[in-house]
Amino acid sequence: MDSLSKSRRKALKVSVAALCTEVGFGVAEESAIETLTEMLQSLLTEIGKSSKAYTELSGRTEVMVTDVLTALIDQGIHIDSIPAYANRGGKTVLISPVQTAAPPIQKVLSAGENQPHPAHIPEHLPPFPDPHTYIRTESGTQPVSEYQLIREKAASYKRDTERALTRFVAKTGETQSLFKDDNSLFPLIAVQTHAQPYLAALLPKDQDLDTLEASDIQGYGRQGSGSRPDLPGTRAQKSETVDPELIDNPYLQPVKLPKYKKYKIS
């Protein structure tokens, strides 16, 4: 129920209470007042619907007095008794409700002056918003551009990142502690030992053997003069790639790795 319906319902309830006071009732229950109010609202609704129906039946759009009188007759109300009832003595007169002042509308803060409509836009359309919403938004504070502060912030972010990663590894992996009894204080990342630690330095990691020249790849037990046919990615297939000399930017040229050779192990 919206606010308008609530105000109308309240006015009908006050009218029913005034009629009960005229008849002689001093006190009434809330349920009784609500029932009488519902009956009065239903009667007025039916009278309005009947009046509208008679108006449309006559081919009109505005309700006339004759339409209302015909609707009252259909509801069983004696029309001749209405003037006498309206002029009765000792009736309760309800004063009109006081119109409350509408709350003031707060002005929205505006930045800049709104631009008027161009000639091709009608005036009844909404005006343009503030210019900063579709042109630019000025920043209140200037960004920090001092070298010392930027370096301090970068160092702080790096230190926090390393600390967070260290704590994550310490919580998810194996940890050691400076104290034998309590491992929760000052956790350290456990050092993983290998049976043959020297292999990590001898095995290649950054080079792909498939991209090397076939003449430079020799197996164990083969002589240095032996060779194998071209493998995928060899010099025969590299001719289809882009010539590095055509690239002017040195940062975009492919990386030139040193030739990798395997020597015979006696």
pLDDT tens digits, one per residue of 174-224: 777 766 666 566 667 777 777 787 777 777 666 555 555 544 544 444 444
Residue type, 35: T
174 neighbors 190 (Cβ within 8 angstroms): yes
pTM above threshold 0.85: no
CA distance 240 to 238: 5
Q: Tell me the backbone φ, ψ of residue 54, rounded to 5 degrees.
A: -65, -35
More confident residue, 219 or 16: 16
Does the domain at 3-86 match CATH 1.10.20.10? Answer given as yes
At residue 89, the pLDDT reads 80
Which residue pairs, CB below 8 angstroms and at least 24 apart, start in 40-43?
A: 40/12, 40/15, 40/16, 41/9, 41/12, 43/75
Report which DSSP code applies to 79: T
In the chain, where are the structural domains located? Answer: 3-86, 147-189, 203-266
- Report CA dihedral (210, 216, 219, 221) to the nearest 10 degrees: 180
